Structure 1
């Protein structure tokens, strides 16, 4: 199954303008941009034919090409990463069986998250798309709660049925439990990992659908699929002791730097 990874990145982020070019310093003292670290995470995935950065901004293009990335320029009218991936798919000079959207704000995405996602799509050939979910540990759950208590929109949570089909995604912490948790507790909240695997038909359908109310309220692109009756397979992944978090707000820089 030929797979291409697309990394959508835009400069004009509402919550964090210029986010893709923010420098993140690792424990080795080396500072690299968010987009470079995300590209390096994508490039570590095994069995992938190509990796492309997809952007509408010359600054991101120049930075990406400087560290060796292939770049596809997309229009400024793309409302979200999925629309950007769909446009990029049509501009590619190569086709694939599967297109993976690894968002440009998720440099902590382990390669095996994406590999598990690709394996799931091979196992279920009728599935049009899939996305990873990660059971929260106590620290991640605390980050979610802290963000909401301080009025910040942080990561996304997901709930799904017994067959692992998504029921809903939210920037609120769902399901509501009313409990506090300690390290080692089994926490019934799943962090939605910002990666999607689509077949080409799913991306084409997405562009034809209007934006629905749930997508508008939550600001979550994947809700357009659910609002139009397309199933999203949730793939539970194992963090293997590694912390996962996206860069959504300036406060997340320190959280991510502690890991890298």
Structure 2
């Protein structure tokens, strides 16, 4: 039986705890932010196997309370626990607070004094941490890489989820697609009597659609463009991309192209690719 994984994301206010939790959620963790210490033990006995808890200066009345919780966490032999401590320079945190105009959780005469006071209070927790990440100059993409390294996460975790969906224009364009490609210009198997009742999932239809030069040229340009675009989307932090492939009825051409595209993109190691055929799901075939 695999151990439950619990990650405590803590550190200085304004150092990027919420961003880190969002990234961990994308990596499959159940996340909770601003969790009080007094209810933290509840999550040690849940059936959830991957949990990330955001806990900072607001989670406890005394630092000793947080330290005691962390010690109890590490006493559980059935839990693989990690403590990630996020920090940033005083200047960076000060600038972030000035930009957001939010109040610092510690009261002092000035914002800078509040930051310095928190650094002093959180020092003992920093010493207990599994790893420390300075987010002063980090972008989200760099932060996720550091989290993977510290938590020794599986290298097979994908950088982006790609959903390929075929559809028929006569039933409307899906509302949740990022990119739409219209393949109604391709030769239509609908007008071939022996292919009319079949779909793009049948080899005969797929072979017919792909045998034309115009299809092969279009597909070559399509896959080249997507392999150029997708890494740029990943670089900007995009986690989900939906590609719509449409023809008239969503049964022949769009299904064929969607399946070929799925097969090709699925070969790329850092892509998590899945496919659906809307009109099949709607019983339009």
Instruction: Name the TM-score, length of structure 2 as normaliser.
Output: 0.23
Higher relative contact order (CA 8 A, sep 6+): 1
More helix by share: 2
